[in-house]
Amino acid sequence: MTLSPVADTTLYARLSREAIPTGAYFRTRTPAGTLPLTPQQQHANYETLATVSRRPQTAPDHDRTPIRCLTIRPPWSDLIAIEDDQVAKRIENRVWSTPWRGTLLIHAGADVDIRALALDTVRETLGDDYELVRRAVVAIADLAGIHADDGECTPWSEEGYSHWELARVQRLTTPVLARGAQRLWKPTPNLLRRIAEANPHLRGRLADTNPGAGA
């Protein structure tokens, strides 16, 4: 297989065994230092590694819930959890797409995007009292659609990525701890129960779900 060069061979070895490696983790060495690969290189690496990996990409199939979950690095996850559509992040940028549509839990990952925390737009949107949330489900949304790169369709969209359209976002008043996973993953019935118990205002929405296309 042919891959664009990556700087960290240990990280490459781990990613090569992942079902759906995330392009954002790839880096390449240049005379100026270590830089991210271009979106096109990331996408090519993702496609290549996805075809050779044998690790499962979702939770065990005994969980048949139509709800899915997406792990996103903070502070991006918290920007999505904001309920004011005028300022919140309603486009999630991904190097891959999916035919699945439906109720989507937003999970804050363990790794933090430090560079994002330094961006003026991010700091202004989150406010001075912002407290970082990690390793927890922070919001519920609908994955309403996915469209190909059309430039800056929102202030939060990026060129070179598939733009995931998020709608009907509700923040969890009490984030619920959970381990993340690659790509779209299936929350267990136990996790859904804990979310409903900690956030009674979401009980109806968690119960009222319709199956989407297969992930």
For residue 212, is pLDDT > 50?
A: no
* Average pLDDT of the residues in 134-143: 97
- The DSSP code sequence of 12-80 is HHHHTTSSS--GGG-EEEETTEEEEPPHHHHHHHHHHHHHH--S--SS-TT---S-EEEEE-TTHHHHH
Residue 164: helix, strand or coil by DSSP?
A: strand
Count of other CB atoms within 10 angstroms of residue 54: 6
Length reported for the chain: 215
Q: What is the percentage of the chain residues whose pLDDT exceeds 70?
A: 66
Listed by start position, the domains of the chain span 9-52, 68-207
Q: Bigger pLDDT: 31 or 55?
A: 31
Reported confidence tier of residue 141, pLDDT bands at 50, 70, 90: very high
- What's the pLDDT tens digit per position in 35-70? 666 666 666 665 555 544 434 344 444 445 689 999
Domain 68-207 is found in CATH 3.40.50.360: no
